A = this chain, B = another copy of it.
Amino acid sequence: MYNAVGKFRLYEQIVQQIEESILKGTLHPGDQLPAERDLASQFGVSRTAIREAVKVLQEKGLVEARAGKGTFVTSGSADAVRQSINLASRISQPHGLTHLVEIREIFEPEIAAIAATQADEQHVAGMREAYATMERSRQDPESFIEADLDFHLLLAEATGNPIILSLIDSIVGLLREQRMRIFQVSGGPERGQVHHKAILEAIERRDSDAAREAMRAHLKQVRGDCLREPEPSRAAAKPLTPSGAV
């Protein structure tokens, strides 16, 4: 009924926002972040929280801080974003899946929004085909999931941003596993298709706001389906096939 609160520390929220600005291309390699004192003002927190966040970002290899000069985005930031995602999602698989959803929630709405304005006809046609394949494959997990991944890869391609494509490409394996989990949740694929359709339609309309919001709704569903499995009442209602780990 109620959602958990207080999941992220202040510095974690700051890290997320800065990572997003790097991924979105607002900040490029070599760019300087605002000064710590300015960031503190912008985020409405003390310098301590900022320093904590900058420390984390440095550990991730996204930025480097030089005393007297400032804090700069590293040249290998896109790779480092990818690396940090891989590390995080390998930690304890069930938890890793939740992490994956969280990361996707940050990035994929923006990917959908950009794709809505950048997709060419080839991209759109590919996404229509992927959607149709998913529709035909409701009883065939392998095919469904393959088409699902294609759909998301096409979204990434449509942005025309190689960093985004590279990032999505690197997490495709993890996405595969997440999809399998959702496939085993009653109604999971159907719900996903509703959202895929909304995303596709928004992109056809070149409506980036709608695309972003449709993707958000989709990821909210994904999160719900990922958290659903451990429920005892669900296990009683529909026995799941034991699928090994996860």
Contacts and interface: CB of A to CB of B under 8 A. Distances in A.
- Give the interface centre of A1, A10, A17, A44 by most chain B CB atoms within 10 Å: A1
Interface string A1-30: 111111100100110011001000010000
B14 A1 contact: no
A122 interface: no
Nearest to A34: B1
B216 A5 contact: no
Interface in A45-60: 45, 49
Interface stretch (A97-105, A154-162, A175-183, A207-215): A207-215
Size class of A's contact patch? 20 to 34
A198 interface: yes
A217 interface: yes
- Give the interface centre of A6, A21, A39, A198 by most chain B CB atoms within 10 Å: A6
A42 interface: yes
A5 B9 CA distance: 9
- Number of copies of this chain in the oligomer? 2
Nearest to A11: B5
A39 B213 CA distance: 30
Contact of A5 (B4, B6, B45, B198): B45
A75 to B, nearest CB: 22
A6 B21 CA distance: 19
Nearest to A2: B42
A49 B17 CA distance: 27
A14 B26 CA distance: 34
Contacts of A18: 2
Given A7-B44, A44-B7, A39 B209 contact: no
A10 B7 CA distance: 10
A13 to B, nearest CB: 4
Interface string A180-215: 000000000000001000100000000001100110
Contact of A17 (B2, B6, B13, B214): B2
Interface of A: 1-7, 10, 13-14, 17-18, 21, 26, 34, 39, 42-45, 49, 194, 198, 209-210, 213-214, 216-217
10 contacts: A2-B14, A2-B17, A2-B43, A5-B14, A5-B45, A6-B13, A198-B209, A210-B217, A213-B214, A213-B216
